[in-house]
Structure 1
Amino acid sequence: MSSVQRNPWLICAHHAVHSAMFPTAIFPLFWTRDIGMSVATMMSVQAFFSLSIALFEFPSGYIADRLGHRRALVLASGAIVVGWALYALARGLWSVLAAELVLGVGFSLVSGADAGLLYDSLREQGKEHEFARWYGRMRSAAQISSGAAALLAGFLYARWSRLPFVLELACWVVALGIALRLGETRRAPARVDDHLGRMRAIVRDALLRRPDLRAVMLLSVVFALAAYLPTWLMALYATEAGADVAWIGPMWAVASFTTAIGAMVSEGAGRRLGMTGTLLACLALVAAGYLGLALSHHALGFVFYFLLTFMRGLHMPLLHHEEQRLAPDDDRASCVSLRSFLFRAAFVLLGPVVGLGVDRHGHRPVLWVAGALMVALTLVSIGLFRAAARSSAQVDRA
């Protein structure tokens, strides 16, 4: 079996190993108890992480397209090893910010490179049509791994608050080894004399001249934001409602498993419901998830969050396949990174506002407002997507 033929399985393995995020479930506890942050500071740190990724996001995708997707994944894995080492040694806010900055650089390099390498590897084998299936497998493997890690997170944190970070460092050493075994595809990077001009052209084409690609990116950003905004609130939301701290790890695990299930059924949902039907189902899940979280005062109210995590898995393979199909061959990772940049930039704006709102007014009023905003943005995005699809169909018939 050639190295490119092995790539889909190796990419799934890489995604699974690097998604075993042992610290994620206990981050709110670590930040507030070990580092001494408020909720507003905690959300601001996440906004800083998003900003650090955003600053490097699009340039890193462009670099991946020029250097090769495999090399980008190797460089990313090495940077993230350093980032988790810094986190394991962190003692205060500034050391946490330093670790977040290095991790931001590393994760920005991953963004776009893995999906681009997967798409190009399948296309080189004549299996481009299998991308949604493989992307679903990749996301499912990642979420199952993430859920399993979350089940252990509370136990590891109780043993030693730094232990989750030490194990995460070990995982990324393994991820680096997997990245080194990946094969680069035969796609020859286009010769570019004016890199800044090329980057401006990519942004201009994706956001101004290509309404179909713009609509897909906007939908992906809105759905990702709807699922991500409550993520860092759920541990505090649940414990304040009366849930035991021991539930946090299993709660995070179930969230990951429901995302995995959504990714598994995504391709089938697309066949049965069509793209528009699946998008409307995702809209319904967003509305029900936020409404349930805002109304519930029971200790188990956090279960409504699982509707949002299922939605996250459901939409990603279909929309990302559309994104890969529409993106130019030589700038595929750049387009994915541009979309990720838009998401990160949106979170930089909204994350601290949400954290400040929770500090002042509590979780439920903020979830009411956030839910209404996400539903409105989703409706607008679906409308733009349908309009772009109709326009493309008319051009094809002409």
Structure 2
Amino acid sequence: MKNNILSHNLIRLYILKVSHWFMLVMPIVVLFYKANGLSVSQVFILQSLYSLSIVLLEIPSGYFADVLGRKNTIAIGAVLGFFGFAIYSLSYGFWGFLVAEVVLGFGQSMISGADSALLYDSLVDAKQHDRYIRHEGRMTSVGNFAEASAGILGGLLAAVSIRYPYYGQTLVALLAVPAAFTLIEPKTEHTRLELGWKQIVDVVRFALVKNLRLRWIIVLSSVVGASTLTMAWFVQPWLIRADTPVEAYGAIWTALNLLVGVAAMFAYRVELKLGRNRTITLLILLLSLGFVASGLIRYYWAMPFIVLFYLARGVATPILKDSINRIAPAPMRATILSVRNFIIRIIFSIWGPFYGWLTDRWSLTLALASAGVIFVILSTLTFIALIKVEKAD
């Protein structure tokens, strides 16, 4: 019976992952913004405000998932996601896009953390929690395969009309609603937290103050997550600088996300082969190199370094999330994962507009190189702090 619940939830979690990552709009989103009169700075400001909207509900939503149930919180997020893209498809300027991004941000915050926590709880319920990295890796892989497939279709739709991908995205978002409402809450052996802001503060204090090992794993995972999010918004300006034909955007976006998907599938093998610390060291080097090289090297000579960046991205997510899940107590797991996502969005909301300003005011080269330098400093200092805490324990 418990294995049946696991299988039932896995199917629906895969549908949710696909509906979230089958992003018809992503390969052409910067072109769409430019067609509606937005500058690069406005693009990063818009995404920064999206991140801030996620921040407003990120930790409370993870806490609601711990209190009210993962299923209910995910269902709310799915409904908001549908309405967000519906608003987007009917908007034609910065302020309309902003309203859509806020709704999407609230929806994303309700799902993030709750989905990973429900997956982990389902595995615990079926006594298969040691297989989490494998399943999280597959989830990440499926999401990126979905995004890769959407890249081709999105490019074809955009060739007809730059707005068609947004109409299609609204229909894709609708698929998540029945999947979310038919999830089954696993009966894990823990008592749900009480509902209250004091309890939220207690969980955050536990994650970032009391448990030093958990603190530094969360911060490291957040810095890595913010870096991959930043690169996702740099790729299209980079393609524009390289004079890439519009019809090639979808194919390039597809290829990059296929790389992430393949890497995520083998993330657990990489960690088994190299060990966690060597794997993280390699990830920091590859991500930093991707930023700096793509900034300094013009045209397609930089593409191998972007490829390495996306391979590192695929490996990083399941490994770092597993490190958090192994330490996080079950009653707090969704909240703690939301703390991670909260920090990712805070970092991006601070640095994103700065990188956009550097691009518009100076150059894309300076913006990318600066992002690489900032990332390598933050990630290295955080990783050193984590190693020191673990040695002390």
TM range (shorter): over 0.9
Matched to 2:135, the amino acid is: W
The aligned runs of 1:30-49 (5 Å cut-off) are 30-33=32-35, 35-49=36-50
Q: Secondary structure at the match of 1:31?
A: helix
Aligned residue for 1:345?
Answer: 346
For 1:358 and 1:181, how far apart are their aligned partners in 2?
Answer: 45
For 1:385 and 1:180, how far apart are their aligned partners in 2?
Answer: 39
Question: What's the RMSD between the two structures over aligned residues?
Answer: 1.6
Q: Secondary structure at the match of 2:162?
A: coil
Q: Secondary structure at the match of 1:230?
A: helix
The aligned runs of 1:327-366 (5 Å cut-off) are 327-366=328-367
Check conservation: 2:216, 2:382, Cα contact below 8 A.
yes
Aligned residue for 1:12?
Answer: 14
Check conservation: 2:9, 2:122, Cα contact below 8 A.
yes
Aligned residue for 2:261?
Answer: 260
Q: CA-to-partner distance for each residue in 1:241-287, whole Å, 9 max, x for gaps?
A: 22222221112112211111221111001101000111011022113
Q: Secondary structure at the match of 1:260?
A: helix
Aligned residue for 1:195?
Answer: 196
Moved over 4 A (4+): 191-194
How far apart are residue 239 of structure 1 and its match? 2.1
The aligned runs of 1:304-343 (5 Å cut-off) are 304-343=305-344
Q: CA-to-partner distance for each residue in 1:208-240, whole Å, 9 max, x for gaps?
A: 111111111111111112222122122121222
Aligned residue for 2:232?
Answer: 231
Alignment of 1:28 with 2:33, yes or no, is no
Check conservation: 1:266, 1:314, Cα contact below 8 A.
yes
How far apart are residue 194 of structure 1 and its match? 6.2
Check conservation: 1:238, 1:301, Cα contact below 8 A.
no
Alignment of 1:170 with 2:171, yes or no, is yes
For 2:281 and 2:216, how far apart are their aligned partners in 1?
Answer: 15
The aligned runs of 1:201-280 (5 Å cut-off) are 201-280=202-281
For 1:29 and 1:231, how far apart are their aligned partners in 2?
Answer: 14
Check conservation: 1:292, 1:301, Cα contact below 8 A.
yes
For 2:199 and 2:12, how far apart are their aligned partners in 1?
Answer: 31
Check conservation: 1:243, 1:300, Cα contact below 8 A.
no
The aligned runs of 1:49-88 (5 Å cut-off) are 49-88=50-89
Q: Secondary structure at the match of 1:10?
A: helix
Q: CA-to-partner distance for each residue in 1:73-119, whole Å, 9 max, x for gaps?
A: 11111111111110110122111111101100100001011100000
Aligned residue for 2:104?
Answer: 103
Q: Secondary structure at the match of 2:78?
A: helix
For 2:62 and 2:220, how far apart are their aligned partners in 1?
Answer: 20
TM-score between the two structures when normalised by the length of structure 2: 0.96
Give aligned pairs, total.
391
How far apart are residue 301 of structure 1 and its match? 2.8
Check conservation: 1:65, 1:189, Cα contact below 8 A.
no
TM-score between the two structures when normalised by the length of structure 1: 0.95
How far apart are residue 192 of structure 1 and its match? 5.0
- Structure 2 residue runs without a partner (length 5+): none
Matched to 1:23, the amino acid is: V
Q: Secondary structure at the match of 2:316?
A: helix
For 1:73 and 1:85, how far apart are their aligned partners in 2?
Answer: 19
Aligned residue for 1:396?
Answer: none
